[in-house]
Chains A and B, each alone.
Chain A
Amino acid sequence: MEPVQLPENKNTGCQSGHCSCGKKKEDGFEQVMSKPSDRRDALKKLTLGLLTGVGFTSTSCSVTAGDAKKEKAQLNWEEFFKGNYQLMTDDEKNSTVKRLERLYELNNGRKINVSAQGPMKDVLYGYAFNISKCQGYMDCINACVQENNQDRNSQMQYIRIHEHKNGSMDFELADDNFYHEVPAAGHFYIGTQCFHCENPPCVEVCPVKATWKEKDGIVVIDYDWCIGCRYCMAACPYDGRRFNWATPEVPADEVNHNQHYLGNRLRKKGVMEKCTFCIQRSRNGKSPACVEACPTGARIFGNLLDPNSEIRWVLANKKVFRLKEDLGTEPKFWYFMD
């Protein structure tokens, strides 16, 4: 991606759509509203009222604040009032991505690359997990944390590895918090994470449509639209979702700079996040980090619509099963044994 150039825009007409200059772009609440001008004026006043509380106005109107500070305030303003990513046009997607890149640069002095790449045609992702091969090394977890910029303070992890005693598949008796040499004799290992259900209950319950299933089957979250009610967390039968109870922190030199809007870009406090099959990788034809990191080859990822893919071979030739199938969620995550 090219380096970001935003400041110039300020002279040629702003992109906010909230001011009277130039052509107005539909974004934010305007996406869903018919917009006769009198109503718009009323809404504008309402937003302004909200903003005084937010405190952006003070900086953006200040004469004494520096240029960078002013630009930051302007960007924050536009970010706060942008709409739901699902409803954005490609133009809007690109401008929010540029704003995010610029904001990161202003705040941290480093450049990041945020992508808004959409789903590829004729692709539906699926995942298979070989129980016979997994030895519980947890390289997948480490790779996942690094790839996806997860909060280091709370040691957030998307993947859980459950250590089962031979002779039982009862998860209630399994241990997912072990600190000993693996593989332990007489035990086997099963990994769980978000199963990217075809019929995801978490999507159904979200009151603001901040989470949805993309065309390629990946269940994603718009981190900027999520209000943090955690209803999705209560609705997920697989513990696939995580909440940012505090401001997530990733040391600057450990931040993965290749990011996706719906994937591993840096999150904020009070929003949900989850496994996205490493959307920033998978949409570029790569496997998720966990698949690549697994030393035993227990993890298989691919396109369910491609008859020649490895995942299709597994589904056709192995005796596969899924977890909690009785709930009707249709996970796209299968287990099998050699």
Chain B
Amino acid sequence: MKQLKIFRSLVTNGIKTALQGNSLYHVWMGFLTFFMLLGAFCFYIQLRDGLIVTGMHNHVSWGLYISNFTFLVGVAAAAVMLVLPTYVLKEMDFSKAVLIGEGMAVAALIMCLAFVTVDLGGPIRAWHLIPGLGVFNWPNSMLAWDVIVLNGYLFINITVPLYILMCRYQGKEPNKNFYLPGVLISVFWAVGIHLVTAFLYAGLPARPHWNNALLGPRFLASAFAAGPALIVIALAVINRFTSYKIDDNTFRKLALVITVAAQINIIMLGSEIFKEFYWPTHHGSSAMYLFFGLHGKNALVPYIWTAIGLSFTATAILSLHKLRNNKAWLYLACVMLFTGIWIEKGMGLIIPGFIPEAWGNIVEYAPTWIEIGVTGGIWAMGAFIFSLLAKVAIGIETGTLRYQEKISV
């Protein structure tokens, strides 16, 4: 009962905190709200007319939505890169960053679920997916697995930080024995969500571009580069605009994680390219189309080379100690790496899986403005949720937000 009361007070005060801020904060939230509304309007049009308003068609039947979904599963999984050393290995450098990382995981997971929902032809029938209410094709369908692991991961990433924040809110030290099991599970779970998502594609012999054993590991490597890169950017913003100061050591450790992951990612990319092009077969047609164009069609060529250029340059910057330890270069490398991997996961992985189609025809894909609007709306929603969570978490961590028995509602 008392815990409930404290929780209620946390929510009320949290909302108060989230609603207050300087003008820059309000402009930022207003900006995000505008894009959320725009996205909602685009989604309304899509609901009214059907998925015909997107650029998808019978040959490229997954597009921007599923691309972003795939990428964001990686971002969510990457929170573990912070969780593990902080809670388990007693490496305290990350402790300030970890709540931010978990907040990012929550935002990313909500975005994932949103992207899957907007991609459904009949979102109103999504209840068929709820175990117990609907009929769940588990364990056969990897999509059924994905629904379970994503919601489970969301649950862990809400409960663990909530417990810690609840304790700090009362000025108490959180009990390790209580939250450590959750943390340990989340570490394995994070690897699980991204592997399951990779298996969703890798298990399809119909799509040779995806049907390879390296897909899962490559997902992990790229996610553990792109996810922490986003966290670095977020921490940089928090460092600059709030009183919550992140020390340099945290940035250095994070940068090291990103660097190693980015390097492994590049090695795997090299391995894939060798396999596809040393002896080109029909199974390599997608890669041929992606990198060089095929039969005069080359819509994806600029995307993949942009992505590879960004990833390579960023990895090179990060690999040089002098540049990596310089904040300006680090931020630049993180932005480049994040963008590079984001493009590569979508335009470089999901789309070419469908091109050429089953009988070798090349039918290209380009997202429509409606699709871009909905996607932008979901990203804005994610940023909005993250901003709210971060604001409250920072309030509690810096001690401005504390439970007071007398004035509690």
Contact = CB atoms under 8 A, between A and B. Distances in A.
Contacts of A270: 50-51, 120-122
A322 to B, nearest CB: 14
Interface stretch (B138-146, B233-241, B389-397): B138-146
B120 A206 contact: no
A305 interface: no
Given A172-B285, A235-B206, A246-B52, A84 B135 contact: yes
Contacts of A225: 125, 128, 135
Nearest to A28: B133
B59 to A, nearest CB: 8
A307 B392 CA distance: 74
A19 B35 CA distance: 42
B129 interface: yes
Contacts, number: 154
B61 A234 contact: yes
Interface string B154-191: 00000000000000000000000000000000000000
A98 B132 CA distance: 27
Contact of B360 (A29, A170, A229, A272): A170
A87 B128 CA distance: 13
Interface stretch (B88-96, B304-312, B351-359): B351-359
Contacts of B22: none
A248 B304 CA distance: 36
B143 A205 contact: yes
B318 interface: no
Given A228-B121, A234-B204, A192 B359 contact: yes
A208 B207 contact: no
B119 A229 contact: yes
Given A227-B128, A227-B129, A176 B361 contact: yes
Contacts of A86: 135
Given A84-B135, A174-B360, A238-B358, A247 B58 contact: no
Contacts of A231: 141, 143, 200
A33 to B, nearest CB: 6
Interface residues of B, number: 50
Tell me which of A160, A177, A236, A239 has the highest count of chain B C-beta atoms within 10 A of its own C-beta. Answer: A239
Contact of B135 (A87, A174, A237): A87
Interface string B67-89: 00000000000000000000000
A217 to B, nearest CB: 19
Nearest to A212: B137
Nearest to A86: B135
Contact of A227 (B121, B206, B282, B285): B121
B405 interface: no
Interface string B269-303: 00000000000001001000000000000000000
A67 to B, nearest CB: 26
Contacts of B204: 201, 205, 234-235
Contact of B140 (A204, A227, A244): A204
B56 interface: yes
Given A227-B121, A234-B206, A247-B50, A208 B358 contact: no
Contacts of A268: 122
Contacts of A247: 50
B135 A208 contact: yes
Contact of B121 (A192, A238, A244): A244
A84 B125 CA distance: 12
Contacts of A206: 137, 141
A103 to B, nearest CB: 17
Contact of B58 (A226, A227, A243): A243
A144 B3 CA distance: 65
B150 to A, nearest CB: 12
B121 A209 contact: no
A174 B52 CA distance: 27
A106 interface: no
A154 B140 CA distance: 33
Interface string A227-266: 1111101111111001111110000000000000000000
Contacts of A43: 133
A327 B205 contact: yes
B152 interface: no
A54 interface: yes
A95 to B, nearest CB: 19
Given A229-B120, A245-B52, 9 more contacts: A32-B134, A54-B124, A162-B359, A205-B143, A208-B136, A228-B51, A228-B125, A229-B116, A233-B61
7 contacts: A84-B128, A174-B360, A205-B204, A207-B147, A225-B135, A245-B52, A270-B121
